[in-house]
Amino acid sequence: MEISRPILITCVLVLVMFTSKAFETFLMVKSYQDTTFLRNLLISKASDSLKSILAKPEVFRYQLIYTRIDRDKRNRPTFTNYQFRLNKNEYFNPASMVKMPAAFLALQKLNQLSSTGVDKYTTMVADSSYPRQTVVMKDSSAQSGLPSMAQYIKKIFLVSDNDAYNRLYEFNGQQFMNEKLWQMGYID
């Protein structure tokens, strides 16, 4: 399967955002706080409805990070982060952003289990221990008709599927996810 350029760029951005500080230095990442560049870009490209939202930051409490990728003659990337209204002390709801680390950590955990023969294509059924959990024995969206980690991850990134995230969260476990994120420097 050939990956399109926008998907590849998105994957690179996701990986850059999720990696350690040392890797950021290796990739030559520059960061600028609350830039006029990003503010001007937003204002110049925004629709009228978006401009009305941008005009009320105290109401909508948005926070933005834009990463520009420049390549040198050898095609080596340089990443420049532009931030606008970024404030770790102002709560915001990251919505589906939690799905990305859950997917990456599930792959990491699967890699640790590889000696047991379990991989991302292993069938993964789920029962329930209380009424609000959902039972999953098949997956009509999967080519095999069976649920798997690979299919859950695909559904997370293609359609932001909440049930797929729930399965990954259950597989990872809250403690594993928290500890791994803390080890990577994501203490907040």
Split at pLDDT 50, 70, 90, the class of 106 is very high
Residue 171: pLDDT above 90?
yes
Split at pLDDT 50, 70, 90, the class of 32 is low
Mean pLDDT value across the chain: 81
CA distances from 77 to 26, 30, 63, 80, 142 (A): 10, 12, 25, 10, 35
Q: Report the alpha-carbon distance of residue 18 to residue 173 in Å, rounded.
A: 19
Residue 98: pLDDT above 70?
yes
Model pLDDT, residue 51: 87
Work out the average pLDDT over 147-157.
Answer: 94
Name residue, tokens 């990728």. Answer: 69
